[in-house]
Amino acid sequence: MTGPVVVAGVDLGASSGRVIAARIGADGIELHEVSRFPNEPVAAGGTLHWDILRLYADVVAGLRKAAGEFPLASAGIDSWAIDYGLLDSGGHLIGNPVHYRDHRTDGITVPVPASELYATTGIQYLPFNTVYQLAAAAGTPALAAARTLLLIPDLLAYWLTGETGAEVTNASTTALLDVGSRTWATQLMERVGIPPRLFPALRQPGDVIGPLAGSLTGDSGRLASADGGALPLVAVASHDTASAVAAVPARDENFAYISSGTWSLVGMELDAPVLTEASRAANFTNEAGVDGTVRYLRNVSGLWLLQECQRHWGQAAGTVESLLGGAAAVTPLRFVVDADDPVFLPPGDMPGRIAAWLGERGRPVPGSPAEFTRCVLDSLALAYRRALADAQRLSGRPADVVHVVGGGSRNALLCQLTADATGLPVLAGPAEATALGNVLVQARALGAAPGTLGEMRAMLRACVEPRRYAPAGSARAWKQAAALLAPS
């Protein structure tokens, strides 16, 4: 390893973004949040869009601030998956990228059997997967004029460097990448009616994309490297979950993880994909991870349910802390819903939908924000229990511990309920896993972090002390609640 370096990590989530400066060396890792900014979708003309130009401006401003405060050696970008921008023949963006929660993919299918699609790509069915977004866009003037498709972090990288490409961990989520060869599934694209020419060359985590464009560097912008030259942009594991999983401080291979935030990504890290029909039926996905690993997981609705409840209630319901405090006093498992039911996917009146779901089944309905909060948390813990049991059964690998990383690792009540529901010890943290995975891959590319994934995790364990939650409560009660939600 070389001496310590300082790198900038751009971490973009579905509701906010931030720029982190990280000092990484043999003595540890220090993170400094340089800037944070909202990421708010915009509805226009009946379509829900990402405000991508605002997001790009905030990224550039954050990087400039970081370069003014720290001697940066590189920068890297991670974001959510699936969504994309289209470039025309002149390299110009054709419209704002559409949000994955937009209704345009409702009822969309493709002319490839689901079993064959899964056998090729290993990707679980989600109605907003890139393949379905493109099928929904078939015949539109925008798609007809497009010459290049770039996923969100690759689009921002293009504007920063002028270089096109597709980082593989994010590309794997599109349901258009061959999971075995990790190359674009061009024959599949042709059968679906998607032009393969849209898809640029693939990149690996750690590849140097290129120097930041000259218009972004120099005295006026101060967006330069520590030596005064152009700052290099490094391809990280650009799917935020891939970065988060890379930063799970696991000691051996028999671990499960929950990357907990707006979504909860629940699964295990494997050496090879699981492409059985049983795996497809259980809706598990095989996404690319760092160093050839496979992120074998299921998407669970996550804290989105609580966030939408809070948005509906407004300030009158109190803070998250007060809601969690009230929820802790509510009778356990009195109100539970199937958190994976598609009815809870769109934005809107989440408390109303939860109440309707329970009422339609003749079950008790929460009557206060605290009871709704407890309903959400108990239901998420049950979804985690189901996903982790399925992951172990389908992969043939046991899990001895559950690592919870991301913002949800700070939710002590949810972490304890997860331990209770799964019967496994939970190690919570780091909350900044996505940022840590981002900056560690950059540091490794620069020679300032260890060479293997296991060695990087050992470095993390020396810096991070997760909080441990032991299973407690009634295992029988969780089993009965799980049976209540089991398909009839």
> What Cα–Cα distance (Å) separates residue 378 from each residue in 324, 338, 385, 418, 477?
12, 10, 11, 9, 12
Catalytic residues: 240
Please state, in angstroms and rounded to a whole number, the distance separating the CA atoms of residues 130 and 120: 15
Largest CA distance in the chain: 67
Task: State whether residue 461 is helix, strand or coil.
Answer: helix
| Cβ-contact 72, 61 below 8 angstroms | no
Structure-block tokens of residue 356:
């309707």
Angle, helix 304-313 to helix 350-360, in steps of 10 degrees: 110
Q: Residue 177's beta-bridge partner residues?
A: 184
Task: Tell me the H-state helices in 80-197.
Answer: 114-121, 130-136, 141-145, 152-161, 168-171, 186-192
| Cβ-contact 51, 27 below 8 angstroms | no
Residue holding tokens 């009158």?
316
- For residue 80, how many C-alpha atoms fall within 13 Å in the half-sphere facing its CB? 23
Task: State whether residue 177 is helix, strand or coil.
Answer: strand
| Cβ-contact 167, 205 below 8 angstroms | yes
Please state, in angstroms and rounded to a whole number, the distance separating the CA atoms of residues 354 and 365: 8
Please state, in angstroms and rounded to a whole number, the distance separating the CA atoms of residues 200 and 456: 30
CB contact set of 455 (below 8 Å; sequence gap of 6+): none
CB contact set of 152 (below 8 Å; sequence gap of 6+): 12, 50, 52, 79, 80, 83, 84, 85, 97, 170
Task: State whether residue 390 is helix, strand or coil.
Answer: helix
